[in-house]
Amino acid sequence: MKKIIVIGAGLGGLSAAIRLAVSGFDVTVLEKNEAVGGKVNYVAANGYKFDTGASLLTMRHVFEDLFDFCGERIEDYLTIVPLDPICRYFWMDRTVFDASSNIEKTAREIERIAPRDVENFHRYLADSRRKYEIAEKTFLAHSLNDLPKLLRPKYLKDLLAISSMKNLDAHHRAFFQSEKLQQLFNRFATYNGSSPYQTPATFALVPFVEFGLGAWYVRGGIYEIPKALARLANESGVKIKTDCAVEKIIVENKQAVGVRLENGEIFKSDYVVANSDAIETYRNLLDKKFYNKKLDRREPSCSGFVLLLGVRKKFPQLAHHNIFFSDNYRAEFDALFTDLRPAKNPTIYICATSQTDATQSPENCENLFVLVNAPYTSSKTDWKIEAQSYRDLIIKKLENCGLEDLESSIEFEQIITPEDFESKYRTNRGSIYGVSSNGIFSAFLRVPNKSKKVENLYFVGGATHPGGGMPLVLLSGKMAAEMIAREN
Ligand SMILES: Cc1cc2nc3c(=O)[nH]c(=O)nc-3n(C[C@H](O)[C@H](O)[C@H](O)COP(=O)(O)OP(=O)(O)OC[C@H]3O[C@@H](n4cnc5c(N)ncnc54)[C@H](O)[C@@H]3O)c2cc1C
């Protein structure tokens, strides 16, 4: 039986490991942290539970497909519940808008705040659907190593049809008259940590994922997902070893033949699959001669500044997911990606799972996961100095937005900064989605799933193809596993 080492037990690594074990390989996952899940992590304290990474489950079928592959039913592992509304949006002028995957309901909300855009919304969603359907059979189904295949006439026509020289913001300004709706749909660029002012309009496929396919929560918290995948991995014969940091990938005759841990232990293998951030893997786990300076130019996705707040109070105005928009979205993204500084007036996301799941907080309390997009790490921001004042600014803004007495009701609190994301998960400059999609050709410039420099070395996870976000990293694991299986 051929041996495979997977570096990292993030969702991409677990997805690859499970599929490879089911395909007949002897698979060992080596994870540096004490638990599996990578950036899908959690904190439990004083009766409160918080997911500290992903909070929204989309593309449920991708998860189901993994369980199907193992001959299992996802329902036997996870209780997945649809969310309605998917997200409640708040603007500074006190406008509130509920987005739902019930299209008629959303259309009624649009009728209320921007009646002239109802028809535009239907047209927009039809375009978003078409874009998604093309991406699903091309970009999301094939590794970049298959690029020559994607460039054949059969796919090329479709790919050109969804390609665009326009950015997402220009696309939305062409569709919607209401600035509020332009801003609402621009927000989808942040689903892979990018700026709507730089991401190509092709990414207008993302709203269909949420409005057309639906959005879910997992009862007990999103961390139930990596727990379920670890169970599936164990049942499939995968060995998972935690507290095992890999120091080097051993390469002989340009072929990956195993790894060395930081404690000196060596694991020999026939293949290595790196779920460690792909750019960091080239930078730190491989010999310098394999590093291509071009990788320095791959812009990391944005990072995040997170507050976990256990609050002795209910906020009935909140839904499960909430967005408090800033007045000047462009200034926010200029700060994040041009100045590499935290936005002075940030849009604030709150996930309050206590709104729909009583297991998440003590009675009459809320577990607020507060997330603000933050720049990837650089010398321009020292979070050790700035975290506390940024935290104060966010709490004050939320109080101004109607969360009265928030400050005085906090009984548990933890701050997570971009520097924490960088050190805990060894991500490239604290990026939370891997590589950004800023730039017309960005999607084609990711690290491919199969190394072109080292034989038998594969990459999975947010910094590789097809990108960041839970379902996409699961797909990267599928692509890598299929390529390895095809070779054997
Ligand atoms: C705050 C936040 C909010 C998010 N919200 C959403 C959301 O709502 N919906 C969604 O779908 N996605 C969301 N995401 C993104 C999603 O969580 C990630 O894209 C996805 O989980 C990343 O998976 P990955 O496979 O790239 O691996 P990672 O999670 O990056 O895991 C990689 C693993 O490799 C380990 N590792 C690294 N180096 C080594 C080494 N040398 N040796 C051993 N192990 C190593 C790390 O410790 C880590 O466990 C969010 C992320 C964050 C942080």
Counting from 1 in the atom list of ligand 1, the atom nearest the Cα of 477 is 25
Please state which of the ranges 155-159, 323-327, 336-340, 416-420 shows the lowest mean pLDDT.
155-159
Nearest-angstrom CA–CA distance, 94 and 396? 16
Dump the DSSP string for 280-329.
HIIIIIS-GGG--GGGGGSPBPPEEEEEEEEESS--TT--SEEEE--S-H
Confidence at residue 267, expressed as pLDDT on a 0 to 100 scale: 98
State percent of the chain over pLDDT 90: 91
- Complete domains list, the chain, with CATH: 3-36+222-296+440-487 (3.50.50.60), 107-214 (no CATH), 302-425 (no CATH)
470 CA: nearest ligand 1 atom: 11
Q: What is the mean pLDDT of the chain?
A: 96
Q: Is residue 162 predicted with pLDDT exceeding 90?
A: no
Element (H, E) at 198: none
CA pair distance 291, 74, nearest whole angstrom: 40
Question: Measuring CA to CA, which residue among 67, 12, 76 is closest to residue 38?
Answer: 12
How wide is the angle at C-alpha 128 spanned by C-alphas 140 and 355, nearest 5°?
90
- Residues 6+ positions from 329 with CB-CB distance below 8 Å: 183, 186, 196, 347
pLDDT at 159 over 80: no
39 Cα–ligand 1 center, Å: 3
For the residues 260-283, what does the mean pLDDT come to? 98
pTM listed for this prediction? 0.97
**How many angstroms separate the alpha carbon of residue 275 from the centre of ligand 1?**
9
For range 153-162, the mean pLDDT:
75
Band the pLDDT of 147: cuts 50, 70, 90: confident
Q: What is the pLDDT of residue 443?
A: 78
- Locate the ligand 1 atom nearest the alpha carbon of residue 432 and give its number: 53
- HSE at residue 359, side-chain half, CA atoms within 13 A, is 7
Q: What are phi and psi of 263, to 5 degrees?
A: -85, 10
How far is 215 from 99, CA to CA, in rounded Å?
11
**Among the listed ranges 134-143, 174-183, 214-223, 268-277, which one has the minimum average pLDDT value?**
134-143
- pLDDT tens digits along 305-315: 999 999 999 99
CA pair distance 131, 209, nearest whole angstrom: 10
Q: Is 476 in the pocket of ligand 1 (CB under 6 A)?
A: no
Contact 7 CB / ligand 1 (< 6 Å): yes
Q: Is 31 in the pocket of ligand 1 (CB under 6 A)?
A: yes
Nearest to 416 by CA among 427, 430, 403: 430
pLDDT category at 155 given cuts 50, 70, 90 is confident
Q: What is the distance between the alpha carbons of residues 298 and 437, in angstroms, rounded to a whole number?
A: 10
Q: Whose CA is nearest to atom 46 of ligand 1?
A: 425
Q: Average of pLDDT values for 257-273?
A: 98
**pLDDT bucket at 153, cuts 50 / 70 / 90:** confident
CA 354 to CA 363: how far, in whole Å? 9
pLDDT of residue 297: 86
Alpha carbon separation from 224 to 32, 43, 397 (Å, rounded)? 20, 13, 32
Q: What is the rounded distance in angstroms from the CA atom of residue 67 to the CA atom of residue 17?
A: 13
Report residue 264's pLDDT band, with 50, 70 and 90 as the boundaries: very high
3-state SS assignment for residue 470: helix
Q: How many CB atoms lie within 10 A of CB 327?
A: 12
Length of the chain: 488
What tens digit of pLDDT does each residue of 334-388 get?
A: 999 999 999 999 999 999 999 999 999 999 999 999 999 999 999 999 999 999 9
Contact assessment for residue 61 and residue 452, using Cβ atoms and an 8 Å cutoff: no
Q: List CB contacts of 404: < 8 A, sequence separation 6 or more.
A: none
Is 209's C-beta closer than 6 angstroms to any atom of ligand 1?
Answer: no
Residues 6+ apart with CB under 8 A from 2: 25, 26, 270, 271, 488
418 lines ligand 1 (CB under 6 A): no
Tens digit of pLDDT for each residue in 425-453? 999 999 999 999 998 878 778 899 999 99
For residue 342 and ligand 1, the question of a CB distance below 6 A is answered with no
C-alpha 40 – ligand 1 centre gap (Å): 6
Task: Kindly state if the Cβ of 39 falls inside 6 Å of ligand 1.
Answer: yes
